[in-house]
Chain A
Amino acid sequence: MLGFLFRRLGDIIPTFFGVTLLVFFLIRLIPGDPILMLAGERGVDPARYAELQAQYGFDQPIIVQYFDYLMGVFQGDLGKSFVTKKPVLDEFLTLFPATVELSIMGILFAIGIGVPLGVLAAIKRGTWVDHLTMSVSLTGYSMPIFWWALLLIMFFSTSLGWTPVSGRLSVFYFIEPTTGFMLIDTLISGEKGAFTSALSHLILPTIALGTIPMAVIARMTRSSMLEVLGEEYIRVARAKGLSPLRVIMVHALRNALIPVITVIGLQVGVLLAGAILTETIFSWPGIGKWIVEAMNRRDYPTIQGGILMIAFLVMSVNLIVDVLYGIINPRIRHKR
């Protein structure tokens, strides 16, 4: 198991290296000069421009710039934002918990609804239950996030007034960030109503973000479950005189979840991409919104740092998924 872990870690390093390469050069392909953007409409005189270029290192050959950046990254220095002049890593770490909180809720929603729906559809195959769940999931999958999120806001927030429109917490509360996770912070602050407020702010973004992964997971669970239910060992389990519930939940689900786990891992990438839209719509102060703003200002270090960290996150999640995969599937674990 440990060897397996190290091998997978070994795969991550070249991938990480490749991401730095891509991010660094792709950003510079976008038209727009960061110094001119920084100066704004009043412009900048050539002498000052050259001075600033030297200050940010833009006068160096691009290869040298890249290696400077790379050296910094390997020392844990992602550079400073052009706009706020703060270290990118600090900004990232401040905003990161908000995105993580939203993403965790999103994936929990997707798994919590998607897996049972898929199992139900598989057991009731060919009946109206199956058709209904599968059309709901197809609709969910085809719905663009920005539109779905607006529909949710219009219906639940504006018309019904059940949930807040945007933000992470009602303005009546001020919570000192300790963990950065609003649900936990409000809970330990002990302030009355704060936790409920944080939770109600999370509901709509969670649904908006989790719908597509939920649909994918439901469909995957269904087809995987159908395949497993046709296996001989399911018949053997039933021949042992086990209850239908035990046959499905223990013997079938465990096997059916193997491909689903892989899909869940892949969906984390989709989730973070979706977070950019969701955070923008719900004014959620997370890294998605932060990167979008940095893009508009050609804030190279922030974009590079942000994307690098997201890539790192997706790779880590997939590593965890691989480990989980080994735990749930003995055939992988024992392969040498």
Chain B
Amino acid sequence: MALLEVKNLTVEFGSEDKPFRAVDSVSYSVDRGEVLGIVGESGSGKSVSSLAVMGLIDFPGRVTADSLTFDGQDLLGMSAKKRRQITGKDIAMIFQDPMSALNPCFTVEAQIMEALKVHEGGTKKQRRERTLDLLNQVGIPDPKSRMTAYPHQLSGGMSQRIVIAMAIACQPRLLIADEPTTALDVTIQAQIIDLLLKLQEDSDMGLLLITHDLALVSEAANRIQVMYAGQLFESGPADSIFAAPRHPYTQALLEALPERSEGHDRLRTIPGVVPGQYDRPAGCLLAPRCRYADDNCIKNRPDVTDFNGRDVRCFYPLNDQGQPTGQIDGQSTGGTV
């Protein structure tokens, strides 16, 4: 059994009769020692789905799922108190902006020790020693003097290391990293990812890596999940997705990588934006932006189907040559990518 099992997770906001689905029937699982990468543009529901797993979606947001289990325990059915015992201990999360993730009023030491106190107890001395260990583990130079530092005295990279130390304090079995490097310098980004992967390997954690950096997931993740406008578009092993994308969106994302634009005058982009609450297409959500879309795509919404061992939400999944299969007339009526 997988560590985290998510089946048809849906997160809705707004009124009951006209809800906005930020996350629409998304399913995935993460195993011990596995790295699952979730990629997609801004607004594709990556963060919201992970917040739902953490139990951090507030009223008026509504979370429903056929099943949401961690290590066999039903997360949605349990009491709030019981869930808090899992949150922060067995499932921990790292957020996007380290500079705002630390409480400016408390020292580094106090913030890390707090997590330990809530979940593991022990004496103050033990907690302090463990904190020192953690700071060492995440590669903070001169950890003793950093213990009593306040967040405003730390750099961004240093803050993110503290945030990571805080997240792994109780030795979680699943770590959710929500764009952990977006707010950092490029040179620091690589260090932080290396650190995360090392920690993941050392303790056999499951790691859910949310990012819009494709290059990053290609190196780090075992499996990849491509999301768009709250829906799962494609999922499968990382290597095969990069070798042969089955969904036109994945293909377009890969083509937008700067290194794949060599020989072209301009960087290739995907025109348009992710549909929001008020401009959702009736058919396939990608139809207005998809270069292969036809009338069928504009009128009907595709389901997730199995295509050559990969989950794909498309009427005309791509073949190994990157051409759509099963298209009736081969005519494009949609976007212009």
Chain A residues engaging chain B, CB cutoff 8 angstroms? 231-233, 235-243, 251, 254-255, 328-331, 334
List of B residues within 8 angstroms of A334 by Cβ: 150, 152-153
7 closest cross-chain pairs (CB), A and B: A241-B88, A240-B88, A232-B100, A330-B150, A241-B87, A233-B103, A241-B84
| A18 CA / B212 CA spacing, docked (Å) | 60
Point out which of A241, A242, A251, A334 has the most chain B C-beta atoms below 10 A from its C-beta: A241
User: Which residue, of A232, A236, A329, has the highest number of chain B Cβ atoms within 10 A?
Assistant: A236
- Beta-carbon contact of A242 and B152 below 8 Å: no
Q: Are A240 and B118 in contact (CB under 8 A)?
A: yes
B213: CB under 8 A from chain A?
no
Q: Are A233 and B100 in contact (CB under 8 A)?
A: yes
Asked if A239 and B102 make an inter-chain contact with CB atoms under 8 angstroms apart, the answer reads no
Q: Which of B89, B104, B115 makes the CB contact (< 8 A) with A330?
A: B104
- Contact check, B95 vs A255: say whether CB atoms are below 8 A apart: no
Please tell me the number of chain B residues within 8 Å of chain A, measured between CB atoms: 30
- The answer for the CA separation of A334 and B54 in the assembled complex, in Å, is 35
B105 within 8 A of partner (CB) = yes
Assess whether A331 is in contact with B101, with CB atoms less than 8 Å apart.
no
**Cross-chain contact A331 with B152 (CB below 8 angstroms):** yes
Let me know if B97 is at the binding interface, CB within 8 A: yes
Residues of A within 8 A of B150 (CB): 330-331, 334
- Cα of A242 to Cα of B81 in the assembled complex, Å: 9
Cross-chain pairs A/B with CB under 8 angstroms, 8 sampled: A232-B96, A239-B56, A241-B84, A241-B88, A251-B103, A254-B105, A330-B152, A334-B152
A241, B93: Cβ atoms closer than 8 Å: no
Are A331 and B104 in contact (CB-based, < 8 A)?
yes
Indicate if the CB atoms of B88 and A242 lie closer than 8 Å.
Answer: yes
Given A239-B92, A254-B105, list of 14 further CB < 8 A pairs?
A232-B96, A232-B100, A232-B101, A233-B102, A236-B102, A237-B103, A238-B87, A240-B88, A241-B119, A242-B114, A255-B104, A329-B105, A331-B150, A331-B152
Given A334-B152, A334-B153, the answer on whether A241 and B118 have CB atoms closer than 8 Å is yes
C-alpha gap A223/B171 in the complex (Å): 37
Question: How many angstroms between the C-alpha atoms of A331 and B95 in the bound complex?
Answer: 22
Known: A240-B88, A240-B114. A233 touches B101 (CB 8 A): yes
A170–B106 Cα distance when bound, in Å, is 49
* Residue B73 lies at the interface, judged by CB distance under 8 Å to chain A: no
**Nearest-Cβ distance from residue B82 to partner chain A, whole angstroms:** 11
Which residues 51-85 of B have a CB within 8 angstroms of A? 54, 56, 81, 84-85
Q: Is the CB of A240 within 8 A of B152?
A: no
8 Å CB contact of A239 from B54, B97, B100, B119: B54
Residue of B nearest to A328 (CB): B105
Which residues on the A side are within 8 Å of B166 (C-beta)? 236, 240
Q: How far is the CB of B179 from chain A (nearest CB, A)?
A: 12
Let me know if B163 is at the binding interface, CB within 8 A: yes
Nearest chain B CB to A130 CB, angstrom units: 14
B105 touches A330 (CB 8 A): yes
